[in-house]
Amino acid sequence: MTNGMTRWDQSPDVLSPVGQPIAALLAHGPHRQRLDGFDPVYRDIVDYIIRCTHRIWEEKNIGLCRTHYSADCVMHTLAGPATGMELVTQNTIGSLASYADRVVIGEDVIWSEDAEQVFYSSHRITSRSTHLGDEALVGAATMRSAGVTTIADCKVIANRIVEEWLVRDNARALWQVDADPHAVATAAAEDDRIGDQARHDWRARWIADTRTLPDVPIPQGHPATLPATMLRLAFADDLYGEAAQTLSPACELRWPSNRRGFGRGFWIGCAMQLTTMLHQRAFRLEHVAARPLPDGDVAVALRWSLAGFHKSVGAWGAPSGRELLLMAVSHLRLRGGFVVEDVTVFDEVSALRQIAGGLGA
């Protein structure tokens, strides 16, 4: 069972990075957590995530991917899975070739120990960079600055990331470098239709899992119960008002593509932008984690998927009739029994790519 080995509030001295300067996060000190098989430089699982990200992305020691990912690691995105540490390494080199001055700001690491020495981290970052290099689908370098939110969920064993789920606000990133998300998605869909279509079978399997598998079980008394119920009430039951009662009246929201706002009504509007387009929906909760924060707050991470048929006009244009898959991660801050902050990330460019006929049948 998820989090079955350990309580969600174990190791309270393994602190969230929220509000801490990078110098403090990278300071060396005594180990605060048992980490079997990890490099000695890492003090705990939060330090591992923050420090190795800094070493790879900001110090540009990209070869460390080969000692921090397993040889057969799988990275899940809505552009399709990538397998193997060498592919991760080459993709990182390619990304930094186009955005060489990228700065990665760690906002939070919400972790769990799902079995003995099997760690799961949900790492939220804001990256800031300049579009310094040409890209195949985006085009020539624009020299424009961009800032985008990403959440990487990682399963980590003995210093190696063995599986990763990555969500990024790609539409917002493209707008900032003067690229059209619809055009980029359409071009990618054209490439998807060339060659062996079996390479896209992962999407059909994921949709089937979303429709048939149960939600991940949540241990009794776990803080994820409240926000998980909120999501299910909205996306599965269409009980938006009841769902929104979980939010504080002034809850702050950051959702993809410039959805920035406050309050229950704004949250309902964001949720309805998805549900109005997708008919015969299926919602599935895939993972939960939580960590205590200072002053009694609690941080919760929920990874979830949503499937449905694109049959109504909405934020993604005219209905295509295609069955779409969405993967999302929500980071929520709880205070006094209410959600006071909701940062949700998903990739709308991949949704547009599916609408344009990409990523398989």
Cα torsion for 40, 43, 44, 50, to the nearest 10°?
-100
Q: What is the 3-state secondary structure (H, E, C) of 168-189?
A: ECHHHHHHHCCCCHHHHHHHHH
Where is pLDDT greater, at 136 or 179?
179
- Asked if residue 342 has pLDDT above 80, the reply is yes
Q: Which two tokens stand for residue 183?
A: 């055009």
Query: Residues 6 or more apart from 213 whose CB is under 8 A from it?
Result: 284
- Asked if residue 135 has pLDDT above 80, the reply is no
pTM of the predicted model, to two decimals? 0.94
Length of the chain (residues): 361
- Asked if residue 361 has pLDDT above 90, the reply is no
- Asked if residue 133 has pLDDT above 80, the reply is no
- What's the mean per-residue pLDDT of the chain? 93
**Domains assigned to the chain:** 22-179 (3.10.450.50), 197-355 (3.10.450.50)
- In the prediction, which pLDDT does 6 show? 79
Closest CA to 271 of 301, 239, 303, 246: 239
Query: Residues 6 or more apart from 13 whose CB is under 8 A from it?
Result: 32
Closest CA to 124 of 108, 145, 110: 108
- In the prediction, which pLDDT does 265 show? 97
- Asked if residue 3 has pLDDT above 50, the reply is no
Express as a percent the part of the chain with pLDDT over 70: 98
Range from 96-100, 216-220, 274-278, 315-319 carrying the lowest mean pLDDT: 96-100
What Rg, from alpha-carbon coordinates, does the chain have? 20
- Asked if residue 4 has pLDDT above 60, the reply is no
**Each residue of 54-92: pLDDT tens digit?**
999 999 999 999 999 999 999 999 999 999 999 999 999
- In the prediction, which pLDDT does 5 show? 59
Integer CA distances (angstroms), 290 to 6, 19, 123, 144, in order: 12, 18, 12, 36
Strands across the sheet with 160-168, in order? 82-83, 69-76, 160-168, 145-157, 118-130, 103-115
Contact between 289 and 112 under an 8 Å Cβ cutoff? The reply is yes
Helix 348-355 to helix 181-192 angle (10° resolution) is 50
- In the prediction, which pLDDT does 2 show? 43
Helix (H) or strand (E) run with residue 208 in it: helix 201-212
- In the prediction, which pLDDT does 143 show? 82
Express as a percent the part of the chain with pLDDT over 90: 78
Reported as half-sphere exposure (CB side, CA atoms, 13 A), residue 63 has a value of: 0
**Each residue of 212-259: pLDDT tens digit?**
999 999 999 999 999 999 999 999 999 999 999 999 999 999 999 989
